[in-house]
Amino acid sequence: MDFELSDEQALIRDTARAFTDREIVPRARENDRNEHFDTELVAKLADQGYLGAIVPVEHGGAGLDYRDYALVVEEVGRGCSAMRTVVSVQTSLVCSSLVRWGTHEQKQEILPRLCSGEWLGCFGLTEPDTGSDAANQKTRARKTDGGWVISGQKMWISLGNYAKVALVFAQTDPAKRHRGLACFLVPTDSAGFSSQEIHGKMGLRGSDTAALSLDDVEVGDEALLGEVGDGFKIAMSALDSGRYSVAAGCVGVCQGSLEASVAYAKEREQFGRPIGAFQLVQAMIAEQRVMTDAARLLVWRAGDLKDRGRPSTTETSIAKLYATEAAQSCAHLAIQDHGGSGYVDDHPVERYYRDVRVTTLYEGTSQIQKLIIGRAETGLNALVPDAPASAPDPVAAG
């Protein structure tokens, strides 16, 4: 694997960096303060091609590979994790599921609208009683003549109040457990579908988060994504891309923390010299640099495997686990480096610290990533207590 960026990759990164500094950074603090989901900025992300970054050009996407995608997501993540979440959900969770599992008609109808930003999509896996144990869906889908009736609740759904289409995971036959799961493309203006905003979040306050309710929502057979029984595989394949995207965004938080720390350490003086001249301050900066590099290289390795069509689930979990934890540590150190100034939102590090807290929770908690990695190392399944230790099915991991 070549660690040098090609001219084209450098251009993609520099373009994303300039876009982030010009459009995202100046709005991030106010959007955070006002809990404002900035649809104008979302439209700009779409105009840049970032909402369909890894979607093939023939479906309206930018046709980037995963290495390129990481460069874009890192820059957006450095600017604002709330906007990075929009990219991750729309591109990795929603679009990549359609690219992989959609029929020709589904792709033609929906993907160009998602890539252009005309529509937002959301990914409805988590429920009030179903998080890490994602196979245990309480939402039910009942077959009718020519379609399905879906009922249930979804919780913590990013973009759920703005989405035009929701990927909804539902159980068709509880006796079949995860093999009974199906995924539906549900228009959010369907009768019986409603959403409610979730407020009071610690971070990602500029991102939309919803509770969804489906009360006998009727959809046609054409709403089924994949086959009945594919639901769990669809969810896991989406998370494989989503976790990668979260990890790349967290590299951006690491990098942003480092850059802010260096700038402040050179400018702030104590004891008659810049604080950056003190060894203990340099130690904080060095720790951030090491974590940033390590996180980035783990992301690039996972991206390289994806681009070569090689299995990458374990390496993606490693990248997600490390990058999300590293981003928290970097933001923490960056606040320390800033002293009292780091405790208010004059500097981005305070927002980094709050925003990044969720990344070890969503798309599979750090504990779940460790269990995936541990299972790969040992061949033993510690995810589900009552499963046979050597169970091959990846029966968990929301």
Ligand X SMILES: Cc1cc2nc3c(=O)[nH]c(=O)nc-3n(C[C@H](O)[C@H](O)[C@H](O)COP(=O)(O)OP(=O)(O)OC[C@H]3O[C@@H](n4cnc5c(N)ncnc54)[C@H](O)[C@@H]3O)c2cc1C
Binding residues for ligand X (CB under 6 A):
89, 123-126, 131-132, 156-158, 204, 209, 358, 361-363, 365, 367-368, 371, 383, 398
Classify burial at 24, counting beta carbons within 10 Å of its beta carbon; exposed 0-12, middle 13-18, buried 19 or more.
buried
Pick between residue 95 and residue 262 the one whose CB is nearest to ligand X: 95
Pick between residue 258 and residue 323 the one whose CB is nearest to ligand X: 323
Query: DSSP label at 228?
Result: T
d(CA 383, CA 114): 34
**Cβ at position 368, least distance to ligand X in Å:** 6
> What are residue 127's DSSP bridge partners?
130
Pick between residue 96 and residue 158 the one whose CB is nearest to ligand X: 158
d(CA 303, CA 162): 30
Q: Are strands 165-171 and 181-187 parallel, antiparallel or unpaired?
A: antiparallel
Tokens encoding 165: 């289409």
> What are residue 141's DSSP bridge partners?
150
| Inter-CA distances, 117 with 40, 80, 91, 187, Å | 10, 18, 11, 16
Give which of 329, 251, 200, 232 is closest to 88, Cα–Cα. 251
Give which of 235, 163, 213 is closest to 394, Cα–Cα. 235
The dihedrals phi and psi of 149, each to the nearest 5 degrees, come to -120, 125
**Cβ at position 383, least distance to ligand X in Å:** 5
**Cβ at position 22, least distance to ligand X in Å:** 27
Pick between residue 124 and residue 256 the one whose CB is nearest to ligand X: 124
Q: Which long-range contacts (CB under 8 A, 24 or more apart) does 337-344 make?
A: 337/260, 337/261, 337/264, 337/265, 337/275, 337/281, 337/284, 337/285, 338/260, 338/261, 338/264, 338/268, 339/268, 341/264, 341/268
Pick between residue 62 and residue 235 the one whose CB is nearest to ligand X: 235
Pick between residue 111 and residue 157 the one whose CB is nearest to ligand X: 157
Pick between residue 252 and residue 398 the one whose CB is nearest to ligand X: 398
Q: Which residue's beta carbon is nearest to the bound ligand X?
A: 131
- What is the Rg, in whole angstroms, of the alpha carbon atoms belonging to the chain? 21
Give which of 375, 287, 358 is closest to 324, Cα–Cα. 358
- Find the length of the chain: 398
CB 70 within 8 A of CB 244: yes
**Cβ at position 132, least distance to ligand X in Å:** 3
Is 363 one of the catalytic residues? yes
Q: Which residues contact 384 (CB under 8 A, 6 or more apart)?
A: 133, 391, 395, 396
Tokens encoding 37: 């989901």
Pick between residue 111 and residue 397 the one whose CB is nearest to ligand X: 397
**Cβ at position 67, least distance to ligand X in Å:** 25
Catalytic, out of 23, 74, 350, 363: 363
**Cβ at position 257, least distance to ligand X in Å:** 20
**Cβ at position 376, least distance to ligand X in Å:** 16
**Cβ at position 323, least distance to ligand X in Å:** 16
Residues catalogued as catalytic:
363
